Chains A and B, each alone.
Chain A
């Protein structure tokens, strides 16, 4: 198991290196126009551009440019020429908000999807199953920005049951923190609940017909124990994989819409604003940050997978 983890971490470093080269190429090597001009953003002066050219090494070879760019990204030396704010600090400021949103939503969608998916599978073909299928399809079909805006308008603004956007630090007041996040969590989770409950339902229906479930029944175990220990545990393996990947994707950009709709001021919203202002340095940094979380969660999923399914460990 230790060797498996070590190998996976090494692979992760390699992938990150490849990602960094690609990101560098996308932002600095694309033809047409001067990268320094792009970097400087909308309000630029000749002196800024000269400064950028020198600092980023745009007059030097590609290798030097790459090294200098990565140096800036990883030392937190990067700053936005548009807002004059250091990019690293902005990301660190937004990260707890994005993490709060992503972790809460991921737990919510997993929990509800297990309940729906399992119930749907047990009642397969009956009314409850069809009803949940329709609900799931509606959930999958509703875009976050739409359902988020509706929730904000009706539950937040009109009824006043929930705060109208905004974020409270967990350390300040955990209840207020959760209270502010309920709507964003729900809005973000709805899509995944629909999707995951469908996948889990079909996994459970496949697993129920496995020989070892028949063995469990022949052992005289109760139906609840059979479902949880023998059916659900095996059906969950692919779901956990999906879960990790989607969690990484939400951290690395999937939360942009939700954060913007509910004004959470997380990394996603920061990225969205930077894109809107054609502010290259934050976009560059957020791209690397997103790639990092996706690669990290991929590795975590592989390791988790090996833990959940002992057959994987041998290979």
Chain B
């Protein structure tokens, strides 16, 4: 199947007071129609910047862009503002992290959705309003007809996120980018929102890019997962490949730090030791090297993102360790997937 969205060697850097920050460093991925791709990583791994760059939302005088992102014949990275405007909201729509601040506080929620519909489709007021009510009903807002003229502060966080989803879906986009859509919400609400995104994706057939730092969130919904670290994709594969046969020590760490109710509770919640590097001053070679207990001589060279596992042609990773070696190493703690503590440091 030809990809709907094809990102090729995307690089984004920002000039800041601390020097040039390389936020995204050679990200490549394809998105097939109707597919759910989860982009997972810690804060500062470049996942949000990647997502927002596709919409042209990171453009600023201090930003530099390289690489390409093709969407249905439009080159998004070089597109003029005018071209981008036609794509934004209509072809590619976005749901943001914080529903409390992402809606204009002084405009009625209905008007905020109507505005987008009219911008792209020029419907008369009454029709646009009808569609808005339908959308609000579809995302599960009770008494949508009465609530369409309410202001954002009259909704709870979860309800506001539903409004954001209704907004994103209002012009039937082919791609939905959800940037940490559940991070700011209660755990119970998180599940509802994810459920809703999954249902709507099935109804509309839109492809979804789900950006999150929480691997637990993607387990139910993703078809494919890309794990990002310090601006690079370090591992990419299907849901099963990433969860059951992870190749990169960083992925092991992420998986190891998921709390599991079906296993005995560890004394301390496992965590990856150390901090992600500053994007202005990243270590040479493999960026994960300083935090990795399996570091060896080879790691000073940048490992290319390529298929390293026999029989898994689409399962790519950036780790120099031989695949057989990984199988042994990641089972250091029997029954658990995760990182062993570095020698000499207390666990």
Contact = CB atoms under 8 A, between A and B. Distances in A.
Contacts of B93: 218
B115 A221 contact: yes
B116 A221 contact: yes
> Which label, helix, strand, loop or mixed, suits the secondary structure of the A interface?
helix
Interface in B40-90: 55, 57, 81, 84-90
B72 to A, nearest CB: 15
Given A218-B57, A234-B104, A308-B106, A314 B116 contact: no
A146 interface: no
Interface in A234-269: 234, 237
A114 to B, nearest CB: 17
B331 interface: no
Nearest to B118: A221
A310 B85 contact: no
Given A212-B105, A215-B102, A310-B106, A220 B153 contact: no
B96 interface: yes
A206 to B, nearest CB: 13
Contacts of B96: 211, 214-215, 218
Interface stretch (A17-25, A46-54, A179-187, A222-230): A222-230
15 contacts: A211-B96, A211-B101, A212-B105, A220-B84, A220-B86, A220-B89, A220-B119, A220-B120, A221-B116, A223-B81, A225-B115, A229-B115, A230-B104, A233-B104, A310-B153
A210 B102 CA distance: 8
A217 interface: yes
B105 A219 contact: no
Interface residues of B, number: 29
Nearest to B151: A310
Interface of B: 55, 57, 81, 84-90, 93-94, 96, 98, 101-107, 115-116, 119-120, 151, 153, 164, 167
Chain A interface size, under 10 / 10 to 19 / 20 to 34 / 35 or more: 20 to 34
A222 B86 CA distance: 10
Given A212-B101, A214-B57, A310-B151, A219 B106 contact: no
A212 B85 contact: no
Contact of B88 (A212, A219, A234, A310): A219
A219 B81 contact: no
B90 A220 contact: yes
A108 interface: no
A314 B101 CA distance: 18
Contacts of A211: 96, 98, 101-102
A3 interface: no
B119 A216 contact: no
A234 B87 CA distance: 26
Interface string A73-107: 00000000000000000000000000000000000
Q: Which 5 A-B pairs have the closest CB atoms?
A: A220-B89, A220-B88, A211-B101, A219-B116, A310-B151
A309 interface: yes
Nearest to B105: A311
Contacts of B86: 220
B153 A314 contact: yes
